[in-house]
Amino acid sequence: MTINRYFEIIYILLDRKIVTAKELAEHFEVSTRTIYRDVDVLSGAGIPIYASKGKGGGIALLEGYSFNASLLTSNEQDDILIGLQTLVVTEFPNSDHILKKVARLFKKETTNWIDVDFSPWGSGQKNKQLFALLRDAIVNQLVIHFSYYNSEGEKSERDVEPLQLLFKQNAWYLSGYCLYKNDFRVFKISRMLEVTVTNQTFNPKSSPIAIENTERQIAQSSVSITLRIASKGAYRVYDEFDDHMITKNKDGSYTVNAQFPIGPWLDSYLLSFGTLLEEIHPADLRARMVAQLDELKSNLIDS
């Protein structure tokens, strides 16, 4: 990334005083022309950097120049380090290398304050690599192909221009432009199978704010539901619902009033509460749930 290269050029020059364009070009695996262009950009940004020709010449900073960390407050320095640490735990290329250099420039110790694993508990290495694969496809603007199961259980093949990774309500989603639907879509990553990155590049299209757009679509097909959940289900209540949706009853149970999108997944979701679920409203949903339980009971007896 160009910004990282600019920063590292300054760091190298602070450390070594003078370096030839050829040495920098070999270090970054770019042409000397690119290095001289970087020097022009840095100079235009007010960094006192220059290139001299002849024996003993090279690229250097004006004598006496030093990175003035005091231009940033201590809190601003901490914010930069925290941002870099976040990139490190997502295994963003070269982020650990850059974090160490910035910490030395700020003369600060870094704290291992965050650790992130984007896969479910007990996942294999393949699932753990999926996040990095999607991240790289987004950064390099490459179309991805995958099989996808929607909330109706229907399978389809998708080619998507990936735009953004989203985290919402304990799950990861991918926002992108679906070439199959010719529209922007949000995909639940756990339902994406056999994900591959193609060689097809794309120019990102201007997109709506993915989460807000999806929430609007869901709200248009949602129904208001009231649940009473036993006191032993407190962990589910507070994990899955906002405080304003929850009322704690005198007997220790919880009443939850929430909007749910209509679809087959809703029955499965409500059944997942098992005996923790004590009441359901409206009545037609309750009747449907009873029918589902009767069918389940019949299946288990006949098996």
Q: Per residue in 152-198, pLDDT tens?
A: 778 899 999 998 887 766 677 888 999 998 888 888 888 899 999 99
Neighbouring residues of 207: CB distance < 8 A, sequence distance ≥ 6:
163, 175, 177, 184
**Structure confidence at residue 119 (pLDDT):** 59
Check whether 1 has a pLDDT greater than 70. Answer: no
Give 238 or 7, the one with higher predicted confidence: 238
Structure tokens at 284: 């037609």
- How many Cα neighbours within 13 Å face the side chain of 93? 9
Structure tokens at 134: 């999607």
**Structure confidence at residue 300 (pLDDT):** 84
Q: How far apart are CA 49 and CA 142, in angstroms?
A: 36
Q: How far apart are CA 25 and CA 199, in angstroms?
A: 27
Structure tokens at 250: 């005198």
**Structure confidence at residue 3 (pLDDT):** 58
Burial 62-96 (b: 16+ CB within 10 A, else e): eeeeeeeeeeeeeeebeebbeebbeebbebbeebe
Q: How far apart are CA 11 and CA 102, in angstroms?
A: 9
**Structure confidence at residue 189 (pLDDT):** 86
Give 113 or 178, the one with higher predicted confidence: 178
**Would you give the DSSP letter of residue 151?**
T
Asked if residue 36 lies in contact with residue 51, where contact means CB atoms within 8 angstroms, the answer is yes
Q: How far apart are CA 33 and CA 55, in angstroms?
A: 19
Structure tokens at 173: 């989603």
Check whether 260 has a pLDDT greater than 90. Answer: no
**Structure confidence at residue 67 (pLDDT):** 56
Structure tokens at 16: 């070594």
User: Under DSSP, is residue 207 helix (H, G, I), strand (E, B) or coil?
Assistant: coil
* pTM tops 0.75: no
Mean pLDDT of 64-77: 62
**Structure confidence at residue 299 (pLDDT):** 84
Check whether 68 has a pLDDT greater than 80. Answer: no
- The model's pLDDT over 121-154, given as tens digits with 9 standing for 90+, comes to 555 566 667 887 888 898 889 999 999 988 777 8
Q: How far apart are CA 176 and CA 195, in angstroms?
A: 14
